Amino acid sequence: MIAIIDYEMGNLGSVAKALTYLGQRAEVTSDPDVIFRADRVILPGVGAMSYALEQLEKKGLDEAIRQYLLTGRPFLGICLGMQLMFESSEEGDARGLGILPGTVRRFQPQPGLKIPHMGWNQLEDSRLSILPSGTHFYFVHSYYCDPADPAMVAARCTHGVPFAAAVQKDNILLTQFHPEKSGDSGLKLLAGWVFGGDED
């Protein structure tokens, strides 16, 4: 069973629908016990980081995530779910879960650069077979992750500056883009993550 963490911020229905299409049993839940027992866990998210962390802590989901990660089972963070895994954000000096070292930074205004970064963009410099370089995914974000350890960057993308489109560390895979909104490319990624790939 795949647990999709419900902290009232995210495209829960879209993620669950994509997994159902792949023949997987997905449960949208805010129950720490269900999360801990799951075979795989997804943390989606859209919105402000400070409020998201507040919701996670209020529901005891921050500790549920930490305990689940200790099991070594696969974990996928999407968009805000990716950003929450880091230490801090320039979005109002918000605090993250601090599971991975690094900072979430805001895109700096440049002539002709649209913020938020919204729409399809192409992966570059990927080191994972389930994330082929040149593949297009759908992004919606004004902030991007800057890992303290560049070796964690699994794929990059460029929007004014190069940034981490995906991060991988041990059993953790994080994507700044939305697989659930990325059509066939997103389904292929989710299938690779579900059925086994080089991310875990």
**Which residue of the set 117, 141, 159, 178 is catalytic?**
178
Query: Given this model, what pLDDT does residue 145 score?
Result: 98
Confidence band, pLDDT 50/70/90 cuts, at residue 200: very low
Out of 145, 159, 180, 199, the active site residue is: 180
Inter-axis angle of helices 183-195 and 12-21, to 10 degrees? Answer: 70
Q: What is the pLDDT of residue 45?
A: 87
Q: Record the pTM.
A: 0.95
- State the pLDDT at residue 199: 45
- Is 79 part of the annotated catalytic residue set? yes
Q: Is 178 a catalytic residue?
A: yes
Residue 104 neighbours by CB under 8 Å, 6+ apart = 49, 83, 86, 88, 89, 90, 91, 94, 96, 143, 144, 145, 146
Active-site residue, selected from the candidate residues 79, 117, 145, 159:
79
Per-residue confidence at 198, pLDDT binned at 50, 70, 90?
low
| The domain defined by 2-195 carries CATH number 3.30.710.10 | no
Residues 147-193: tens digit of each pLDDT: 999 999 999 999 999 999 999 999 999 999 999 999 999 999 999 99
